[in-house]
Amino acid sequence: MAVNVERVGITVLGSGSRGNAVVIHTESEAILVDAGFSARELRKRMARFEIDETKVRAILVSHEHSDHVCGMRVCAKQLGIPIYANRGTAEVLRSRDDKLGNLTIFAPGSPFGVGGFTVEPFTIPHDAYDPVAFVVKMGTVKLGIATDLGHVNSLVSHQLRACDALVVESNHDIGMLRNSDRKWSLKQRIIGRHGHLSNEDGLELLRKVLHGRTQAVIMAHASGECNEYSLVERGVKQCLAELEREDIVMHVATQDDGAPTVWVSHAV
C-alpha cells in the first residue's frame, strides 16, 4: 500500500530584482532560501503566509547579490538561526559586513542536513562569485530552486529533473529587454551565459526537467521593467498544455506578493 510522507510546502515570499526569498516548510520546521528583503519585511511576509517564524531552522544563501541577502544577517540574529553559504560566497559577504560573524560553510555538490531536510547545493552559471541553486529533500519529496542563472547546462538539468515542485527563473521577455532603455552593457550581461533566463529559456528548462511526479511549478525573478507576469503565465500554460501536463499547479511569483503556498507530497 502506498503511504504519503509528510506534506512539504514551498512559499515564495517575493521574487524579482528588488528582493527574493523562498520558504520550504513542513508542519514542524522550515528553512529560508535567500533573504533579499529587510528582516522586518521577511518576518511580515512569513506572517502573511501563516508561516511560524520560530520553526525556521536556517537561512541558505545562493549567492551574494543584495536582492538575495540584504536582510540575511539581521533576520538570522533576530530568529537565532545559522546562515549557510559556500566558502566563496561567505568570503565576499564577510568582506562587506564585519558584523556578520560565523557562517556555516557548505561545499557545492556535497549534501548536508538542516533539521529533517537534506540540502543538495549545486553550481550554476551566474555572474556572482560562486553561485549555487538548491535541491531540498524531505523524505521522498524533492524540491528544486534555481532563480538566477544565465543558461541551462547539463548539471542544472540533471539536478532539477524529477522534482515534485520547482521554483525556476523566467526573468525577461527578450523583445522587451532589447527595446528597453537599459544600457547596452547591462542588456548584454542579462542575456549572457552568466546572466538571467529569458521567458523562453525558462520554458525550455521546464521541457527538459518536468517529470511524471512533478506537481507544481513556480516561475520567479520576473523583471519589473522587461517582463510582464501575464506573458510568463501564458507561456507556461501553453507549455504545459503541449506537454499534456495541465494537471501541474502553476504560479508566477510577483515582487510584492510572492506566490501562494504549494503543498506537495510523494507516495512511496
pLDDT tens per residue across span 106-145? 999 999 999 999 999 999 999 999 999 999 999 999 999 9
Question: So what's the pLDDT on residue 5?
Answer: 55
pLDDT at position 250 is 98
- Residue 29 makes CB contacts below 8 A (sequence gap 6+) with 55, 56, 57, 115, 116, 117
Domains by residue range for the chain, with CATH: 8-258 (3.60.15.10)
Task: Give me the residue label for grid cell 525550455.
Answer: 204
- The pTM for the full model equals 0.95
pLDDT at 102: 82
Task: Render pLDDT for 91-105 as a digit per residue (tens, 0 to 9).
Answer: 999 999 988 878 999
The rounded mean pLDDT for the chain is 96
pLDDT for 2: 44
pLDDT in tens, 13-45: 999 999 999 999 999 999 999 999 999 999 999
The answer to whether 231 touches 173, Cβ cutoff 8 Å, is yes
CB 208 within 8 A of CB 241: no
Q: Could you tell me the pLDDT band of residue 267, with boundaries at 50, 70 and 90?
A: low
Which residue intervals of the chain are DSSP H helices? 39-48, 66-69, 72-79, 87-96, 154-160, 174-178, 184-191, 199-209, 229-242
Say whether pLDDT at 11 is over 70. yes
Mean pLDDT of 161-184: 97
Provide the pLDDT confidence category of residue 1 given band limits of 50, 70 and 90.
Answer: very low
State whether the Cα torsion 57-140-107-39 is positive or negative: negative
Answer yes or no: is pLDDT of 164 > 90: yes
10 Å CB burial of residue 228 (0-12, 13-18, 19+) is middle
For the cut 80, the answer to whether the pLDDT of residue 266 exceeds it is: no
Q: What share of the chain is helix, strand, coil (3-state, %, to 5)?
A: 30, 30, 45
